[in-house]
Structure 1
Amino acid sequence: MKIAIVKNNTQESLNVAGKLEKLLAETDIKITNNQPDIIISVGGDGTLLSAFHRYAHLLDEVRFIGVHTGHLGFYTDWRQYNLLELVDSLKNDNGEYIQYPLLDVEIMYKKQQKPKHFLALNESIVKITDGTLVGDVYIKEEYFERFRGDGLCISTPTGSTGYNKSIGGAVLHPRLEALQLTEIASLNNRIFRTLSSPMVIAPDEWIKIKPIDTASFTLTIDQLASSEKDVDYIKFQIAKERIRFAQYQHTHFWDRVEDAFLGAKARHED
Protein backbone atom coordinates (compact mmCIF):
# COMPACT_ATOMS: atom_id res chain seq x y z
CA MET A 1 0.00 0.00 0.00
CA LYS A 2 1.15 3.54 -0.83
CA ILE A 3 0.11 6.53 1.29
CA ALA A 4 0.33 10.26 0.56
CA ILE A 5 0.15 12.70 3.47
CA VAL A 6 -1.18 16.23 2.89
CA LYS A 7 -0.91 18.62 5.84
CA ASN A 8 -1.34 22.30 6.58
CA ASN A 9 1.40 24.44 8.11
CA THR A 10 0.12 24.73 11.67
CA GLN A 11 2.49 23.40 14.29
CA GLU A 12 -0.07 20.91 15.57
CA SER A 13 -0.63 19.46 12.10
CA LEU A 14 3.11 19.23 11.47
CA ASN A 15 3.57 17.40 14.77
CA VAL A 16 0.72 14.98 14.08
CA ALA A 17 1.95 14.31 10.55
CA GLY A 18 5.43 13.63 11.95
CA LYS A 19 4.05 11.12 14.46
CA LEU A 20 2.04 9.43 11.72
CA GLU A 21 5.07 9.16 9.45
CA LYS A 22 7.09 7.53 12.26
CA LEU A 23 4.33 4.98 12.90
CA LEU A 24 4.01 4.17 9.21
CA ALA A 25 7.80 3.76 8.93
CA GLU A 26 7.47 0.72 11.20
CA THR A 27 5.14 -0.99 8.70
CA ASP A 28 5.31 -2.15 5.07
CA ILE A 29 3.29 0.91 4.03
CA LYS A 30 5.16 3.29 1.73
CA ILE A 31 4.80 7.07 2.00
CA THR A 32 4.85 8.67 -1.44
CA ASN A 33 3.14 11.41 -3.45
CA ASN A 34 3.36 9.34 -6.63
CA GLN A 35 0.26 7.25 -7.45
CA PRO A 36 -0.88 6.68 -3.84
CA ASP A 37 -3.66 4.32 -2.87
CA ILE A 38 -4.81 6.44 0.07
CA ILE A 39 -4.43 10.16 0.78
CA ILE A 40 -4.35 11.14 4.44
CA SER A 41 -5.22 14.76 5.15
CA VAL A 42 -3.88 16.20 8.42
CA GLY A 43 -5.60 19.44 9.39
CA GLY A 44 -9.17 20.60 8.88
CA ASP A 45 -11.67 20.55 6.05
CA GLY A 46 -9.63 23.13 4.13
CA THR A 47 -6.66 20.78 4.10
CA LEU A 48 -8.80 17.95 2.81
CA LEU A 49 -10.16 20.23 0.08
CA SER A 50 -6.58 20.96 -0.96
CA ALA A 51 -5.81 17.24 -1.01
CA PHE A 52 -8.92 16.57 -3.08
CA HIS A 53 -7.98 19.11 -5.75
CA ARG A 54 -4.38 17.91 -5.81
CA TYR A 55 -5.45 14.34 -6.55
CA ALA A 56 -8.71 14.98 -8.42
CA HIS A 57 -7.24 13.28 -11.50
CA LEU A 58 -6.95 10.00 -9.53
CA LEU A 59 -10.42 9.80 -7.98
CA ASP A 60 -11.11 6.36 -9.46
CA GLU A 61 -7.96 5.00 -7.85
CA VAL A 62 -7.65 6.64 -4.44
CA ARG A 63 -9.46 6.91 -1.12
CA PHE A 64 -9.21 9.70 1.42
CA ILE A 65 -8.79 9.76 5.19
CA GLY A 66 -9.03 12.89 7.34
CA VAL A 67 -7.08 13.40 10.57
CA HIS A 68 -8.57 16.36 12.42
CA THR A 69 -6.38 19.01 14.10
CA GLY A 70 -8.65 22.05 13.71
CA HIS A 71 -11.98 23.26 15.07
CA LEU A 72 -14.53 21.86 12.61
CA GLY A 73 -14.02 18.70 10.61
CA PHE A 74 -16.88 17.33 8.55
CA TYR A 75 -14.48 15.24 6.48
CA THR A 76 -12.21 14.11 9.30
CA ASP A 77 -12.90 10.97 11.33
CA TRP A 78 -9.59 10.60 13.16
CA ARG A 79 -7.80 12.56 15.88
CA GLN A 80 -4.17 12.61 17.00
CA TYR A 81 -4.94 10.41 20.01
CA ASN A 82 -6.00 7.45 17.85
CA LEU A 83 -3.21 7.38 15.28
CA LEU A 84 -2.26 3.86 16.40
CA GLU A 85 -5.77 2.66 15.57
CA LEU A 86 -5.53 4.37 12.19
CA VAL A 87 -2.25 2.64 11.36
CA ASP A 88 -3.71 -0.72 12.44
CA SER A 89 -6.68 -0.10 10.16
CA LEU A 90 -4.34 0.68 7.27
CA LYS A 91 -2.40 -2.52 7.86
CA ASN A 92 -5.65 -4.51 7.79
CA ASP A 93 -7.19 -2.56 4.92
CA ASN A 94 -9.79 -4.48 2.89
CA GLY A 95 -10.59 -1.77 0.35
CA GLU A 96 -13.93 -0.67 1.81
CA TYR A 97 -15.07 2.89 1.26
CA ILE A 98 -18.02 5.24 1.42
CA GLN A 99 -18.50 7.63 -1.50
CA TYR A 100 -20.19 10.99 -1.93
CA PRO A 101 -21.28 13.01 -4.99
CA LEU A 102 -19.26 15.85 -6.49
CA LEU A 103 -20.20 18.94 -8.46
CA ASP A 104 -19.29 19.22 -12.13
CA VAL A 105 -18.80 22.86 -13.18
CA GLU A 106 -18.87 23.54 -16.92
CA ILE A 107 -17.88 27.02 -18.14
CA MET A 108 -18.61 28.02 -21.72
CA TYR A 109 -16.95 31.20 -22.98
CA LYS A 110 -18.40 33.26 -25.82
CA LYS A 111 -15.27 33.04 -27.99
CA GLN A 112 -14.50 29.34 -27.43
CA GLN A 113 -15.99 26.23 -28.99
CA LYS A 114 -15.40 23.85 -26.11
CA PRO A 115 -16.31 24.38 -22.45
CA LYS A 116 -13.94 23.96 -19.52
CA HIS A 117 -14.76 21.49 -16.74
CA PHE A 118 -13.90 21.60 -13.05
CA LEU A 119 -14.85 19.50 -10.02
CA ALA A 120 -15.97 20.84 -6.64
CA LEU A 121 -16.30 18.90 -3.41
CA ASN A 122 -18.22 21.57 -1.45
CA GLU A 123 -19.64 24.30 -3.66
CA SER A 124 -19.24 26.71 -6.52
CA ILE A 125 -20.25 30.36 -6.14
CA VAL A 126 -21.00 32.97 -8.79
CA LYS A 127 -20.81 36.42 -7.22
CA ILE A 128 -20.07 40.08 -7.78
CA THR A 129 -18.70 42.55 -5.23
CA ASP A 130 -19.00 45.93 -6.93
CA GLY A 131 -22.53 45.93 -8.27
CA THR A 132 -25.44 43.60 -8.95
CA LEU A 133 -25.09 40.20 -10.54
CA VAL A 134 -27.76 39.68 -13.18
CA GLY A 135 -28.23 36.22 -14.63
CA ASP A 136 -30.90 34.00 -16.10
CA VAL A 137 -31.30 30.71 -14.26
CA TYR A 138 -32.30 27.58 -16.16
CA ILE A 139 -33.24 24.22 -14.66
CA LYS A 140 -32.65 21.41 -17.15
CA GLU A 141 -32.72 23.90 -20.06
CA GLU A 142 -36.05 25.39 -18.92
CA TYR A 143 -35.97 29.08 -18.02
CA PHE A 144 -36.75 29.55 -14.32
CA GLU A 145 -35.97 33.11 -13.22
CA ARG A 146 -33.84 36.19 -13.77
CA PHE A 147 -31.69 36.62 -10.68
CA ARG A 148 -30.51 39.97 -9.40
CA GLY A 149 -28.38 40.16 -6.29
CA ASP A 150 -24.91 39.48 -4.90
CA GLY A 151 -24.61 35.94 -6.19
CA LEU A 152 -25.66 32.31 -6.33
CA CYS A 153 -24.24 29.31 -4.49
CA ILE A 154 -24.50 25.78 -5.87
CA SER A 155 -23.51 23.19 -3.28
CA THR A 156 -23.15 19.44 -2.95
CA PRO A 157 -24.75 17.61 -0.02
CA THR A 158 -21.37 17.40 1.73
CA GLY A 159 -20.90 21.12 1.12
CA SER A 160 -24.35 22.01 2.44
CA THR A 161 -22.98 22.54 5.97
CA GLY A 162 -20.49 25.17 4.78
CA TYR A 163 -21.10 28.48 3.03
CA ASN A 164 -24.49 27.24 1.84
CA LYS A 165 -25.75 26.94 5.41
CA SER A 166 -24.45 30.39 6.34
CA ILE A 167 -26.64 32.01 3.65
CA GLY A 168 -29.79 30.13 4.67
CA GLY A 169 -29.47 26.91 2.69
CA ALA A 170 -30.65 23.55 3.98
CA VAL A 171 -28.37 20.86 5.40
CA LEU A 172 -28.54 17.75 3.18
CA HIS A 173 -27.36 14.28 4.04
CA PRO A 174 -24.24 13.53 1.94
CA ARG A 175 -25.65 10.29 0.52
CA LEU A 176 -28.35 12.23 -1.33
CA GLU A 177 -27.74 12.54 -5.07
CA ALA A 178 -28.78 16.17 -5.27
CA LEU A 179 -27.55 19.71 -5.76
CA GLN A 180 -28.71 22.82 -3.93
CA LEU A 181 -29.09 26.33 -5.33
CA THR A 182 -29.09 29.12 -2.73
CA GLU A 183 -29.38 32.84 -3.42
CA ILE A 184 -27.02 35.42 -1.93
CA ALA A 185 -28.76 38.71 -1.06
CA SER A 186 -31.30 38.57 -3.88
CA LEU A 187 -33.03 41.78 -4.95
CA ASN A 188 -36.79 41.45 -4.45
CA ASN A 189 -39.39 44.20 -4.82
CA ARG A 190 -42.48 45.01 -6.92
CA ILE A 191 -40.39 45.00 -10.09
CA PHE A 192 -37.76 42.31 -9.56
CA ARG A 193 -38.68 38.90 -8.16
CA THR A 194 -36.86 35.63 -7.46
CA LEU A 195 -37.94 32.51 -5.61
CA SER A 196 -35.87 33.65 -2.60
CA SER A 197 -35.70 30.11 -1.29
CA PRO A 198 -33.09 27.36 -1.51
CA MET A 199 -33.82 24.82 -4.25
CA VAL A 200 -32.85 21.14 -4.18
CA ILE A 201 -32.23 19.81 -7.68
CA ALA A 202 -32.88 16.18 -8.66
CA PRO A 203 -29.96 14.01 -9.84
CA ASP A 204 -31.13 13.91 -13.47
CA GLU A 205 -31.40 17.72 -13.66
CA TRP A 206 -28.85 20.49 -13.92
CA ILE A 207 -28.55 24.23 -13.31
CA LYS A 208 -27.43 26.71 -15.94
CA ILE A 209 -26.66 30.36 -15.28
CA LYS A 210 -26.35 32.82 -18.16
CA PRO A 211 -24.86 36.19 -17.11
CA ILE A 212 -26.85 39.17 -18.39
CA ASP A 213 -25.26 42.64 -18.70
CA THR A 214 -22.51 41.49 -16.36
CA ALA A 215 -19.05 42.30 -17.67
CA SER A 216 -17.16 40.27 -15.09
CA PHE A 217 -17.76 38.30 -11.93
CA THR A 218 -15.97 36.06 -9.46
CA LEU A 219 -16.30 32.29 -9.71
CA THR A 220 -15.22 30.13 -6.80
CA ILE A 221 -14.77 26.38 -6.90
CA ASP A 222 -14.34 25.30 -3.29
CA GLN A 223 -11.51 27.51 -1.96
CA LEU A 224 -10.24 28.47 -5.43
CA ALA A 225 -11.38 31.78 -6.95
CA SER A 226 -11.03 33.31 -10.40
CA SER A 227 -12.21 36.47 -12.14
CA GLU A 228 -14.32 35.61 -15.19
CA LYS A 229 -15.54 37.59 -18.20
CA ASP A 230 -17.00 36.87 -21.64
CA VAL A 231 -18.88 33.89 -20.20
CA ASP A 232 -21.80 32.50 -22.18
CA TYR A 233 -23.05 30.19 -19.43
CA ILE A 234 -22.03 28.12 -16.42
CA LYS A 235 -23.61 24.70 -16.02
CA PHE A 236 -23.72 22.77 -12.76
CA GLN A 237 -24.60 19.10 -12.41
CA ILE A 238 -23.73 16.03 -10.38
CA ALA A 239 -20.40 14.76 -11.61
CA LYS A 240 -19.76 11.25 -12.86
CA GLU A 241 -16.81 11.10 -10.49
CA ARG A 242 -17.16 10.42 -6.77
CA ILE A 243 -14.93 11.04 -3.78
CA ARG A 244 -14.21 7.92 -1.73
CA PHE A 245 -13.37 7.81 1.96
CA ALA A 246 -11.77 4.74 3.49
CA GLN A 247 -14.43 3.27 5.74
CA TYR A 248 -12.49 2.20 8.81
CA GLN A 249 -14.13 4.54 11.30
CA HIS A 250 -16.89 6.79 10.08
CA THR A 251 -18.81 9.25 12.24
CA HIS A 252 -22.54 9.40 11.57
CA PHE A 253 -23.34 12.56 9.60
CA TRP A 254 -25.98 13.90 11.99
CA ASP A 255 -23.59 13.39 14.90
CA ARG A 256 -21.12 15.63 13.04
CA VAL A 257 -23.82 18.27 12.51
CA GLU A 258 -24.91 18.16 16.14
CA ASP A 259 -21.35 18.37 17.42
CA ALA A 260 -20.35 21.21 15.08
CA PHE A 261 -23.36 23.48 15.43
CA LEU A 262 -25.17 22.55 18.63
CA GLY A 263 -22.99 20.64 21.07
CA ALA A 264 -26.21 19.70 22.82
CA LYS A 265 -25.06 16.20 23.75
CA ALA A 266 -22.11 17.48 25.70
CA ARG A 267 -24.28 19.98 27.57
CA HIS A 268 -26.95 17.32 28.16
CA GLU A 269 -24.37 14.96 29.69
CA ASP A 270 -23.21 17.74 32.03
Structure 2
Amino acid sequence: MAHRNHLYFYYLKDEDTDEKVSQLTEVAQSKGYKIVDHTDEANIIVSIGGDGTFLQAVRKSGFRQDALYVGITREGESGLYCDFNLDNFNEMLHLLMHEELEVRRFPVIKTRINNGTDHYCLNEVSIRSTIVKTIVIDVLIDDCHFETFRGDGLIVSTPTGSTAYNKSANGAVVDPLIPSFQVSEVASLNNNQYRTLGSSFILNKDRKLTLNIQSTGNDHPIISLDNEANPIRKIDSIEVEMDDAVIKTVKLKNNSFWDRVKRTFL
Protein backbone atom coordinates (compact mmCIF):
# COMPACT_ATOMS: atom_id res chain seq x y z
CA MET A 1 0.00 0.00 0.00
CA ALA A 2 3.05 2.29 0.18
CA HIS A 3 2.43 3.56 -3.37
CA ARG A 4 -0.72 5.34 -2.20
CA ASN A 5 0.52 8.87 -1.61
CA HIS A 6 -1.86 11.23 -3.44
CA LEU A 7 -4.19 12.84 -0.89
CA TYR A 8 -7.36 14.81 -1.50
CA PHE A 9 -9.10 16.60 1.38
CA TYR A 10 -12.90 16.84 1.20
CA TYR A 11 -14.62 19.12 3.69
CA LEU A 12 -17.20 21.86 4.01
CA LYS A 13 -15.36 25.16 3.65
CA ASP A 14 -15.16 27.42 6.68
CA GLU A 15 -12.37 29.50 8.17
CA ASP A 16 -11.63 27.17 11.08
CA THR A 17 -11.50 24.01 8.94
CA ASP A 18 -9.46 25.78 6.25
CA GLU A 19 -6.82 26.54 8.87
CA LYS A 20 -6.79 22.95 10.15
CA VAL A 21 -6.53 21.54 6.61
CA SER A 22 -3.60 23.88 5.96
CA GLN A 23 -1.86 22.40 8.99
CA LEU A 24 -2.69 18.84 7.90
CA THR A 25 -1.35 19.60 4.44
CA GLU A 26 2.01 20.65 5.86
CA VAL A 27 2.21 17.50 8.00
CA ALA A 28 1.26 15.23 5.07
CA GLN A 29 3.75 16.87 2.70
CA SER A 30 6.53 16.49 5.28
CA LYS A 31 5.78 12.75 5.27
CA GLY A 32 6.10 12.51 1.47
CA TYR A 33 2.44 12.81 0.49
CA LYS A 34 1.28 14.89 -2.46
CA ILE A 35 -1.87 16.97 -2.03
CA VAL A 36 -3.99 17.03 -5.18
CA ASP A 37 -6.78 19.37 -6.29
CA HIS A 38 -9.27 16.84 -7.63
CA THR A 39 -10.60 13.47 -6.48
CA ASP A 40 -9.70 11.89 -9.84
CA GLU A 41 -6.02 12.50 -9.11
CA ALA A 42 -6.16 11.01 -5.61
CA ASN A 43 -5.72 7.47 -4.39
CA ILE A 44 -6.54 8.48 -0.80
CA ILE A 45 -9.63 10.63 -0.24
CA VAL A 46 -9.86 12.15 3.23
CA SER A 47 -13.13 13.59 4.50
CA ILE A 48 -13.06 15.99 7.44
CA GLY A 49 -16.36 16.18 9.31
CA GLY A 50 -18.91 13.64 10.48
CA ASP A 51 -20.61 10.76 8.69
CA GLY A 52 -22.59 13.15 6.50
CA THR A 53 -19.39 14.64 5.12
CA PHE A 54 -17.96 11.15 4.56
CA LEU A 55 -21.06 10.14 2.57
CA GLN A 56 -20.75 13.29 0.46
CA ALA A 57 -17.06 12.65 -0.16
CA VAL A 58 -17.82 9.14 -1.43
CA ARG A 59 -20.71 10.33 -3.61
CA LYS A 60 -18.97 13.41 -5.05
CA SER A 61 -15.93 11.31 -5.96
CA GLY A 62 -18.02 8.68 -7.73
CA PHE A 63 -17.71 5.70 -5.36
CA ARG A 64 -14.10 5.09 -6.41
CA GLN A 65 -13.17 1.40 -6.34
CA ASP A 66 -9.46 2.12 -6.75
CA ALA A 67 -9.08 4.58 -3.87
CA LEU A 68 -8.99 4.44 -0.08
CA TYR A 69 -11.40 6.61 1.86
CA VAL A 70 -10.52 7.98 5.29
CA GLY A 71 -12.96 9.71 7.64
CA ILE A 72 -11.68 12.26 10.15
CA THR A 73 -13.98 13.87 12.69
CA ARG A 74 -13.54 17.34 14.09
CA GLU A 75 -13.63 18.21 17.77
CA GLY A 76 -16.87 17.14 19.42
CA GLU A 77 -17.99 15.01 16.48
CA SER A 78 -18.29 11.24 16.19
CA GLY A 79 -19.01 8.95 13.30
CA LEU A 80 -19.58 5.33 12.36
CA TYR A 81 -17.58 5.79 9.14
CA CYS A 82 -14.83 7.90 10.68
CA ASP A 83 -12.05 6.04 12.49
CA PHE A 84 -9.84 9.07 13.07
CA ASN A 85 -10.01 12.56 14.50
CA LEU A 86 -7.81 15.59 14.00
CA ASP A 87 -5.72 14.63 17.03
CA ASN A 88 -4.50 11.32 15.56
CA PHE A 89 -3.82 12.48 11.99
CA ASN A 90 -0.17 11.43 12.33
CA GLU A 91 -1.29 7.92 13.28
CA MET A 92 -3.44 7.79 10.15
CA LEU A 93 -0.47 8.78 7.95
CA HIS A 94 1.67 6.15 9.66
CA LEU A 95 -0.91 3.44 8.95
CA LEU A 96 -1.17 4.48 5.31
CA MET A 97 2.59 4.18 4.86
CA HIS A 98 2.99 0.65 6.19
CA GLU A 99 2.22 -2.75 4.76
CA GLU A 100 0.26 -3.91 7.81
CA LEU A 101 -2.46 -1.46 6.85
CA GLU A 102 -5.89 -2.95 7.55
CA VAL A 103 -8.67 -2.11 5.12
CA ARG A 104 -12.37 -2.25 5.93
CA ARG A 105 -14.74 -2.95 3.02
CA PHE A 106 -18.25 -1.51 3.17
CA PRO A 107 -20.80 -3.08 0.78
CA VAL A 108 -22.95 -0.68 -1.24
CA ILE A 109 -26.29 -1.05 -3.01
CA LYS A 110 -26.94 -0.21 -6.65
CA THR A 111 -30.17 1.64 -7.40
CA ARG A 112 -31.81 2.14 -10.77
CA ILE A 113 -34.72 4.60 -11.05
CA ASN A 114 -37.18 4.27 -13.96
CA ASN A 115 -34.76 1.88 -15.72
CA GLY A 116 -32.30 4.76 -16.04
CA THR A 117 -28.79 5.36 -14.74
CA ASP A 118 -27.38 3.29 -11.89
CA HIS A 119 -26.72 5.10 -8.61
CA TYR A 120 -24.70 3.66 -5.73
CA CYS A 121 -25.64 4.15 -2.07
CA LEU A 122 -23.44 3.57 0.94
CA ASN A 123 -26.20 4.12 3.53
CA GLU A 124 -29.63 3.76 1.98
CA VAL A 125 -32.14 4.68 -0.67
CA SER A 126 -35.49 5.86 0.65
CA ILE A 127 -38.78 6.73 -1.00
CA ARG A 128 -41.25 8.88 0.90
CA SER A 129 -44.55 10.60 0.29
CA THR A 130 -44.36 14.37 -0.07
CA ILE A 131 -48.10 14.98 0.41
CA VAL A 132 -50.60 14.13 3.14
CA LYS A 133 -51.56 10.87 1.43
CA THR A 134 -50.19 7.35 1.64
CA ILE A 135 -47.87 6.11 -1.08
CA VAL A 136 -48.71 2.72 -2.60
CA ILE A 137 -45.81 0.51 -3.67
CA ASP A 138 -45.80 -3.00 -5.11
CA VAL A 139 -42.80 -4.82 -3.62
CA LEU A 140 -41.24 -7.55 -5.77
CA ILE A 141 -38.43 -9.89 -4.75
CA ASP A 142 -36.64 -11.49 -7.72
CA ASP A 143 -39.51 -10.26 -9.95
CA CYS A 144 -42.14 -12.07 -7.83
CA HIS A 145 -44.79 -9.98 -6.05
CA PHE A 146 -44.24 -10.02 -2.28
CA GLU A 147 -46.58 -7.36 -0.90
CA THR A 148 -48.33 -4.10 -1.67
CA PHE A 149 -47.16 -1.43 0.76
CA ARG A 150 -49.30 1.50 1.83
CA GLY A 151 -47.84 4.12 4.12
CA ASP A 152 -45.41 7.03 4.31
CA GLY A 153 -42.49 5.27 2.63
CA LEU A 154 -39.83 2.56 2.46
CA ILE A 155 -36.14 2.49 3.31
CA VAL A 156 -33.65 0.10 1.69
CA SER A 157 -30.38 0.14 3.63
CA THR A 158 -26.94 -1.39 3.53
CA PRO A 159 -25.51 -3.07 6.67
CA THR A 160 -23.58 0.09 7.61
CA GLY A 161 -26.63 2.18 6.75
CA SER A 162 -28.68 0.03 9.12
CA THR A 163 -27.63 2.34 11.98
CA ALA A 164 -28.97 5.47 10.25
CA TYR A 165 -32.51 6.22 8.99
CA ASN A 166 -33.26 2.47 9.06
CA LYS A 167 -32.63 2.29 12.82
CA SER A 168 -34.97 5.22 13.48
CA ALA A 169 -37.67 3.24 11.65
CA ASN A 170 -37.10 0.28 14.03
CA GLY A 171 -35.03 -1.70 11.56
CA ALA A 172 -32.33 -4.12 12.72
CA VAL A 173 -28.65 -3.22 13.02
CA VAL A 174 -26.79 -5.56 10.65
CA ASP A 175 -23.15 -6.64 10.79
CA PRO A 176 -21.32 -5.26 7.69
CA LEU A 177 -19.63 -8.66 7.27
CA ILE A 178 -23.03 -9.95 6.07
CA PRO A 179 -23.44 -8.76 2.45
CA SER A 180 -27.15 -7.97 2.43
CA PHE A 181 -29.68 -5.18 2.27
CA GLN A 182 -32.67 -4.44 4.47
CA VAL A 183 -36.16 -3.13 3.72
CA SER A 184 -37.91 -1.15 6.46
CA GLU A 185 -41.33 0.48 6.53
CA VAL A 186 -42.15 4.06 7.44
CA ALA A 187 -45.62 4.27 9.04
CA SER A 188 -47.29 1.41 7.15
CA LEU A 189 -51.08 1.22 7.00
CA ASN A 190 -52.33 -2.12 8.30
CA ASN A 191 -56.02 -2.97 8.77
CA ASN A 192 -58.65 -5.44 7.50
CA GLN A 193 -58.25 -4.08 3.97
CA TYR A 194 -54.52 -3.42 3.70
CA ARG A 195 -51.78 -5.72 4.93
CA THR A 196 -47.97 -5.56 4.83
CA LEU A 197 -45.37 -7.67 6.60
CA GLY A 198 -45.19 -4.99 9.28
CA SER A 199 -41.53 -5.57 10.07
CA SER A 200 -38.15 -5.11 8.43
CA PHE A 201 -36.79 -7.92 6.29
CA ILE A 202 -33.26 -8.65 5.11
CA LEU A 203 -32.34 -9.89 1.63
CA ASN A 204 -29.22 -11.74 0.53
CA LYS A 205 -26.90 -9.75 -1.76
CA ASP A 206 -27.89 -11.92 -4.74
CA ARG A 207 -31.56 -10.92 -4.56
CA LYS A 208 -33.17 -8.22 -6.68
CA LEU A 209 -35.70 -5.88 -5.11
CA THR A 210 -38.16 -3.95 -7.27
CA LEU A 211 -40.43 -1.20 -5.99
CA ASN A 212 -43.20 -0.24 -8.41
CA ILE A 213 -45.08 2.92 -7.44
CA GLN A 214 -48.80 2.74 -8.14
CA SER A 215 -50.49 5.77 -9.70
CA THR A 216 -52.83 6.87 -6.92
CA GLY A 217 -52.34 10.63 -7.10
CA ASN A 218 -49.04 10.43 -5.20
CA ASP A 219 -46.84 10.39 -8.28
CA HIS A 220 -44.07 12.71 -7.10
CA PRO A 221 -42.51 11.14 -3.99
CA ILE A 222 -39.08 12.16 -2.78
CA ILE A 223 -36.21 9.76 -3.47
CA SER A 224 -33.14 10.12 -1.27
CA LEU A 225 -29.80 8.49 -2.06
CA ASP A 226 -27.83 8.52 1.18
CA ASN A 227 -28.18 12.13 2.36
CA GLU A 228 -28.96 13.62 -1.04
CA ALA A 229 -32.37 14.03 -2.71
CA ASN A 230 -32.69 12.80 -6.29
CA PRO A 231 -34.12 15.41 -8.70
CA ILE A 232 -36.27 12.95 -10.70
CA ARG A 233 -39.89 14.08 -10.43
CA LYS A 234 -42.00 11.24 -11.81
CA ILE A 235 -41.09 7.92 -10.22
CA ASP A 236 -42.45 4.69 -11.68
CA SER A 237 -40.04 2.06 -10.41
CA ILE A 238 -36.91 1.55 -8.35
CA GLU A 239 -34.66 -1.51 -8.69
CA VAL A 240 -32.17 -2.30 -5.94
CA GLU A 241 -29.35 -4.84 -6.23
CA MET A 242 -25.97 -5.42 -4.67
CA ASP A 243 -22.91 -6.24 -6.76
CA ASP A 244 -19.25 -6.61 -5.78
CA ALA A 245 -18.63 -2.87 -5.41
CA VAL A 246 -17.29 -1.85 -2.00
CA ILE A 247 -15.97 1.29 -0.37
CA LYS A 248 -12.54 0.70 1.14
CA THR A 249 -11.56 2.58 4.28
CA VAL A 250 -8.56 2.49 6.57
CA LYS A 251 -9.27 0.43 9.68
CA LEU A 252 -8.03 1.58 13.05
CA LYS A 253 -7.12 -1.41 15.20
CA ASN A 254 -9.40 -2.25 18.12
CA ASN A 255 -12.21 -0.20 16.57
CA SER A 256 -14.64 -2.67 15.04
CA PHE A 257 -18.11 -1.83 13.72
CA TRP A 258 -19.63 -3.03 16.98
CA ASP A 259 -17.18 -0.95 19.01
CA ARG A 260 -18.39 2.11 17.12
CA VAL A 261 -22.06 1.11 17.51
CA LYS A 262 -21.57 0.74 21.26
CA ARG A 263 -19.78 4.08 21.50
CA THR A 264 -22.45 5.86 19.44
CA PHE A 265 -25.64 4.42 20.92
CA LEU A 266 -24.79 2.89 24.29
> How big is the shift at 1:230?
3.9
- TM-score by length of structure 1 reads 0.88
Distance in 1 of aligned mates of 2:260 and 2:186: 25
Change over 3 Å in CA distance of 1:198–1:260 after alignment to 2: same
Distance in 2 of aligned mates of 1:230 and 1:68: 37
Change over 3 Å in CA distance of 1:106–1:74 after alignment to 2: same
The residue number in structure 2 matching 1:98 is 104
The residue number in structure 1 matching 2:219 is 215
1:82 and 2:88 are equivalent in the alignment: yes
1:236 and 2:240 are equivalent in the alignment: yes
Distance in 1 of aligned mates of 2:52 and 2:173: 19
1:150 and 2:152 are equivalent in the alignment: yes
Any runs of at least 4 consecutive aligned residues in structure 1 with deviations exceeding 4 A, and if so which?
93-96
- Structure with greater proportional strand content: 1
The residue number in structure 1 matching 2:41 is 35
CA-to-partner distance for each residue in 1:62-121, whole Å, 9 max, x for gaps? Answer: 01111112533001111122122122223335665221110100112xxxxx52210001
Root mean square deviation of aligned Cα? 1.8
Change over 3 Å in CA distance of 1:89–1:12 after alignment to 2: farther
Change over 3 Å in CA distance of 1:77–1:15 after alignment to 2: farther
The residue number in structure 2 matching 1:128 is 129
Aligned pairs, number? 256
- TM-score by length of structure 2 reads 0.90
Secondary structure of the structure 2 residue equivalent to 1:183: strand
Q: Which runs of 5+ in 2 are unaligned?
A: none
Whether contact under 8 Å (2:214, 2:236) holds in the other structure is no
CA-to-partner distance for each residue in 1:144-172, whole Å, 9 max, x for gaps? Answer: 11111000000000100000000100001
Distance in 1 of aligned mates of 2:232 and 2:45: 32
Secondary structure of the structure 1 residue equivalent to 2:255: coil
The residue number in structure 1 matching 2:116 is 115
Task: Return the match for 1:66 from 63, 71, 75.
Answer: 71
The residue number in structure 1 matching 2:12 is 8
The residue number in structure 1 matching 2:60 is 54
Query: What residue identity is the alignment partner of 1:247?
Result: K
- Once the two structures are overlaid, the 10-residue window that deviates more, 226-235 or 167-176, is 226-235
Whether contact under 8 Å (2:138, 2:145) holds in the other structure is yes
The residue number in structure 1 matching 2:164 is 162
Change over 3 Å in CA distance of 1:207–1:14 after alignment to 2: same
Q: Which runs of 5+ in 1 are unaligned?
A: 109-113, 263-270
Task: Return the match for 2:257 from 253, 259, 270.
Answer: 253
Distance in 1 of aligned mates of 2:66 and 2:250: 12
